[in-house]
Amino acid sequence: MSNLLEDVKQLLASTNGTSRGILLEELQELIVSAETSQETATRMYPLQASAARIGHDLKIFEALRSSGTKTLEQLQDMTNANPITLVLGRLLRYMASVGLIREAGVNQFEANQTCQKLATPEAVTTLTHFFDNGGPLFQAMPAFLRNSNYQDVTDEKATVFQSALKTDLDTYTWFSQNPELLGALVKYMALEQSVRARWLDEYPIERDTQNWDPTLPVFVDVGGNVGHYCALFRHRFPNVPGRVILQDLPHTLAQALQTPGVEALAHDFFEPQPLKGARFYHLGWILHNWSDEKSKHILRQIRSAMGVQSVLLINDMILPETEVPAHAAALDLVMLGGCGGRERTMKEWRDLLGDVGLVIKECIMYNRELCHGIIGVVLS
Ligand SMILES: C[S@@+](CC[C@H](N)C(=O)[O-])C[C@H]1O[C@@H](n2cnc3c(N)ncnc32)[C@H](O)[C@@H]1O
């Protein structure tokens, strides 16, 4: 048996890309085939995410990862959970029962693989955002869709979000009034940006900016959040001539990174784009927030500012026609529920852009596994 498991481990370590995905799927199927229906359903409880979120609050995963097997009493001391002895014991028991940690004996716990992974800052940021911001949405989604007869959601002011949060505000206005949850979103965006920053290594920016007039905008990041991409652009291409400008709504710019060589300009992307003829306009994870109609409105504002040399860089997911990975398929539903937006396939991108007089000049998939691509778009 142990030889068999060793073989599977080696096989997993030696595969990547699509083969790794297929292997993981088959292993998952194997596990499910051995479960009862009730075990499968129990694994789906949102309680698991809730327990993991509590584990992060109490830093249980970090404590177990860094210092080996611990007794309940030691964990109480390490997590400052002293006054809640009984609760901590019950929480740990549940966490062990669903495999978040391992029970090593009576009231003794240690790290397993899941615990090791949950202890990382990436896991804390991801789970905090998807539990605190996504959780209410996921909870309200079944009733919302049932009541609307499973119609597509396209109006950003009548999505699952409003129903879940009991608000009339659209998602971004609501976040601007809820700084703690906005903080969780911003942190998650920064994490994603660090993965998505790879496009800067792949797109031929230097080739396309030779002899650019230094007085003109070279990179305008529309809806650029706090300016991670502007900072990376400046850092990665210190000799590229031209102005680098971050645009977003005023409340987001209030938290903008202070990067030498980056200007900040408050701009609502539904209004006419004030910066004309930039070499690059960048829309990173913007259009997936919006329905086709609203996306076309945003695109038209940029289109009317573009010159013959301008390229609009759309940095978004490009879904394959089949076998969309779980992370991408989940984000598509988060977009549907959160803001009436959607992730798009290449055909959907082409149609959307064609409708507003834009054509695709080139497309680079800079992270195929996560479906991240950058589409260079010009006037048709
Ligand atoms: C999902 S984030 C994308 C951030 C960044 N572009 C990236 O690639 O990570 C969407 C951004 O759009 C901004 N935004 C939302 N509505 C906007 C509007 N009407 N005008 C300008 N920016 C807006 C938000 O403040 C937020 O920073």
Q: Give the mean model confidence (pLDDT) for residues 358-366.
A: 96
Q: What average pLDDT does the segment 291-306 reach? A: 98
- Ligand 1 within 6 A of CB of 256: no
Instruction: Please state the domain extents for the chain.
Output: 2-118, 126-187, 193-379
CATH number of the domain located at residue range(s) 2-118 in this protein? 1.10.10.10
Question: Is residue 82's pLDDT more than 80?
Answer: no
- CA–CA separation, 285 vs 143, rounded Å? 28
Residues whose CB is less than 8 angstroms from the CB of residue 36 and which lie 6 or more positions away in sequence, other chains included: none
Residue 204 one-letter amino acid: P
Alpha carbons within 13 A on the beta-carbon side of 121: 5
Among residues 356, 374, 6, 338, which one has the least CA distance to residue 188?
338
- Is 365 close to ligand 1, i.e. is its CB under 6 Å away? no
Residue 53 has pLDDT above 90, yes or no: yes
State if residue 373 touches ligand 1 by the CB under 6 angstroms criterion: no
pLDDT tier at 84 (50, 70, 90 boundaries)?
Answer: low
pLDDT at 85: 66
Q: Which of 3-7, 90-94, 371-375 has the lowest mean pLDDT?
A: 3-7
174 lines ligand 1 (CB under 6 A): no
- Specify the residue with its C-alpha closest to ligand 1, atom 8: 284
What separation, in Å, do the N-terminal and C-terminal C-alpha atoms of the chain show? 62
Centre a 10 Å sphere on the Cβ of residue 92 and count the other Cβ atoms it contains.
25
Q: Which region, left, alpha or beta, applies to residue 276 given φ > 0 means left and ψ of -120 to 50 means alpha?
A: beta
Mutate to test the pocket of ligand 1, among 188, 286, 343, 367 (most ligand atoms within 8 A of CB): 286
> Does the pLDDT value for residue 329 go beyond 90?
yes
pLDDT band at 189 (very low <50, low <70, confident <90, very high): confident
Catalytic residues: 288
Q: How far apart are CA 247 and CA 226, in angstroms?
A: 9
**Is the domain defined by 193-379 classed in CATH 3.40.50.150?**
yes
Indicate the pLDDT class of residue 323, thresholds 50, 70 and 90. confident
Residue nearest to atom 1 of ligand 1 (CA): 285
Q: How far apart are CA 39 and CA 105, in angstroms?
A: 23
Nearest atom within ligand 1 for CA of residue 252:
25
